[in-house]
Amino acid sequence: MLNNIGLPGILLIAVVVLVLFGRGKVSSLMGEVGKGITSFKKGVNDGEKEITDASAEAKDVTPVEEKDKV
**Nearest alpha carbon to residue 17 among 7, 31, 29:** 29
Q: Give pLDDT, residue 29.
A: 87
**Nearest alpha carbon to residue 26 among 36, 18, 37:** 18
Residue ranges per domain, the chain? 23-50
Q: Give pLDDT, residue 35.
A: 96
Task: Write out the chain's pLDDT in tens, 70 residues.
Answer: 567 888 999 999 989 988 998 888 888 988 999 999 999 999 999 999 988 887 776 666 677 776 666 5
Angle at 14 between CA 13 and CA 16, to 5 degrees: 65
Measured CA to CA, the distance from residue 9 to residue 15 in angstroms comes to 10
Q: Give pLDDT, residue 38.
A: 95
Positive or negative, the CA dihedral 13, 16, 18, 22 is negative
